[in-house]
Amino acid sequence: MISKRRRAFHASNHNSNVPGVEPQFLLGNLLQSGALSGKPYFQIFSDYQEKYGDIFKYRFGPHSVVAFNRLDHVQYIFAHRHIYDHAKLASETFSLLTPNGLIALTGAKFKRHARVMLPMFKKSKVVPYLETVNDCTDELLLQKWRADGNEKLQTDIIRQCQDLLLCIITSIAFDYDLKTAESSSPVRLAIKEFVDNFVKILLLSGTPTIFSRLYLKFNWKYQKALVVLRKEADDIIRKERARQEKEQEIENAINTKRRNLISLLVSSLNEDVGGDYKQGLTCEELLDEILLSIVAGFETTSTVLAWFIFHMSKYPAIQEKIKEELKLHNVTKKTSLTNELLDKLEYIDCVLKEVLRFSPIMDGTLRTLVEDDQIDGVQLRKGDSVYIGLNNIHRDKRLWKLDPDQFLPERFLDTDDKNQPIWTFGGGHRACAGQDLARFELKVICTRLMQSLTFLDSGDEQNSGGFLQRITCLPKRLAVYCKFD
């Protein structure tokens, strides 16, 4: 049971009773645990929990964290937002790439950016883009797979999922069309380079930041990509400002104003936020938010989609149940999806929840204390950081009534597991800003795919799963046949 907060401690080593591995100089536990050699973090923290229990220490280089891995722990931390704020390690890492991006900010600056950014990612704002998501799915996946025929083994599913979600986020947020962009176009190549380096820097989290700074500074490919992306962002902003200025001349402008992200961002431009005026974003801040939105807008969602395809190929009975639900609501491959129709489809919601629970997409999240506290007898002080083992909670046999090591979407229908929360997108006031958009995109895409085809297992090593650690944890080996119904 979690004890009451205490604001002052007298012990010199205030959490010396917490077990863990003795850290190495500079590297902490990164080398010992296998993180630097590519071992997925969810496996690392699962192993540590098995060895040391629900509470243990881990060092990301010089950054020490206390890991908490029970449901009451995560509920307590997320509920006490005034104590547990955005992690210092996360801010330092993301500041290397997008120093003015929402995910790198804390305090008053975070609140100012949040007032601009968060409203545009709510479900009510993204539902009008259902047709955009549907069209992108048709053009980038279904048309390609249909042209390839049922006999071709699709071995590049992960990249195809990433291309699809990149197309969707740029269409929704910035009115930028990547469906017809050549694979060798400067913008597409620049996005890929930026994301690849984003991954590398995140995997180096915890090592001295000077290494990451020097790597980025002297990486000419990354610097070139940054120039291309900033120029593209500048062009988007310039065109949007011109459009808004022209629109002001129209008598009914307020009724014709578009509600995409870029229109909101440009409307918020204010170069005087450093003074007494505390609203809006500067141009530099806006550019970082665009870059961050490109990465955050597709990485997690494309990973979930890849895992969905993998699991469907392994569980044909579950695919069949999805298709039975579609038939029940008279949904054929020619049926146009609407938000009202999607709301009726309950089983596919259960499947997507189970994908989020079962697949180790995100291992956990971090918080840093802004005042002293105590959890389960562990003394924590202002400035300490805690790690919340979200994936460990998703697999906690003490929590789930149906075997958590089994892929069972039915657990979310009429069982005791039905109302258990899924934490893939985090929780509390620093939860993923785009989770409503991600969930909406996933339901539209997966429903559209199930309207038209069935995923078949290749039956060999090529579709054996495994794990590849990037920003998220991807299936390492994914290859399926796409059989059109």
Per-residue pLDDT, 385: 95
Q: Are 483 and 456 in contact (CB under 8 A)?
A: yes
Backbone φ and ψ for 83, nearest 5 degrees, come out as -105, -40
136 labelled as ligand-binding? no
Q: What is the pTM of this model?
A: 0.90
Question: In the sheet where 153-154 sits, what is the strand order?
Answer: 153-154, 480-484, 453-457
At 158, which CATH number?
Answer: 1.10.630.10
Taking the CA atoms of residue 367, residue 368, residue 374 and residue 380 in that order, the dihedral angle to the nearest 10 degrees is: 130
Q: Are 394 and 106 in contact (CB under 8 A)?
A: no
Q: Kindly list the averaged pLDDT for each block of 10 residues, start to end, along the chain of length 485.
A: 38 72 90 92 97 96 93 95 91 90 89 85 83 93 94 94 88 68 72 84 78 91 90 80 73 51 78 66 85 81 97 98 97 92 96 97 94 95 96 96 96 91 90 89 97 96 93 94 95
Q: Where in the sequence is the domain holding 243, given as residue range(s)? A: 87-362+424-484
- Taking residue 16's Cβ as centre, other Cβ atoms within 10 Å add up to 9
Q: Is 215 domain-assigned?
A: yes
Domain count, the chain: 1
Q: Is 149 domain-assigned?
A: yes
Q: Is 410 domain-assigned?
A: no
For residue 116 the two structure tokens come to 């601009």
Per-residue pLDDT, 6: 38
Per-residue pLDDT, 329: 96
Q: Is 146 domain-assigned?
A: yes
Q: What b/e readout covers 357-369, taking b as 16+ CB neighbours within 10 angstroms? A: bbbbbbbbbbbbb
Per-residue pLDDT, 184: 67
What are 327-333's contacts with CB under 8 Å, separation 24+?
331/447, 331/451, 332/451, 333/451, 333/452, 333/485
Q: Is 32 domain-assigned?
A: no
- Taking residue 39's Cβ as centre, other Cβ atoms within 10 Å add up to 14
Q: Are 467 and 460 in contact (CB under 8 A)?
A: no
Per-residue pLDDT, 231: 85
Locate tokens 């005791």: which residue?
416
> Is the torsion defined by CA of 91, 95, 100, 103 positive or negative?
negative
* DSSP H or E segment with residue 448: helix 435-452
Q: Is 325 domain-assigned?
A: yes
Residues 6 or more apart from 63 whose CB is under 8 A from it? Answer: 28, 88, 89, 206, 385
Q: Is 452 domain-assigned?
A: yes
